[in-house]
Every structure is written in structure tokens, then in C-alpha cells.
Amino acid sequence: MNNLIITGKLVKVTPIENIENKDGRKWLKRNFVVDTNKEFNSNICFQLFGEDKVKLIDNFNVGDEIEVYFNLSSKEFNNRYYHNVDAWRLNKIDNNVTTDENNSQTDDELPF
């Protein structure tokens, strides 16, 4: 499967939640929302699971442009489907870095 990647502006980060299932198993969960600047349904809520993953968002601030690598999954319960959008890698996008390809070579340096 190809990597699923989306970019956008970080608009919200929720506190870490301590979750316990009915069997007593515990884990950590944290959500964050990215605005993709699309015309419709531009906000996407991602989730981070586990002690290591919930810390991934700590290096970012609301307003940062980020790139999110994620997985989609669905589970059926009582004839209804529930979807998860699980982030597993985050990168900051630095919009201040620009490259001007027109100035990268002079006529004397052309490869042909």
C-alpha cells in the first residue's frame, strides 16, 4: 500500500487521554486537527496512539504547516462502520525555504 500523506495547518491539539478498555488494558491517545485548506470538509482529525506516538505532536505549534503520514482503517460494530485516521509520522513544512531554479545555472553551466 502506498503511504497516505496530507499537508495543512495545525489548528488544534487535544490533551493526552488515558484510555482503559473493558479488559483493563490501558493505552494513551491524543487527537490533533489539520486544516487542509480545501473548499469542503477541510479539517481532518488525526489520532495518535501509544506512549511514543502521542509525543510526536509536542514539537509543533498551532499554526505550523505540517505534513502528516497516516493510515486509514474501518471497523464494523452493530452494522455500522467506524473509521480511524491514525497518524504515525509528522514533518514540519518550512514555507520560508524557496528555491529559484531559474538562477541555479548560468548559460555557461548548461548540461548540453
pLDDT of 9-66, one tens digit each?
Answer: 999 999 999 998 888 889 899 999 999 999 999 999 999 999 999 999 999 999 999 9
CA angle 94, 98, 102 (to 5 degrees): 165
pLDDT of 61-108, one tens digit each?
Answer: 999 999 999 999 999 999 999 999 999 999 999 876 544 444 444 455
Domain positions in the chain are 4-94
Of the candidates 70, 82, 4, the one whose C-alpha atom is nearest the C-alpha of residue 33 is: 70
Amino acid identity at 95: N
Q: Does 2.40.50.140 match the CATH number of domain 4-94?
A: yes
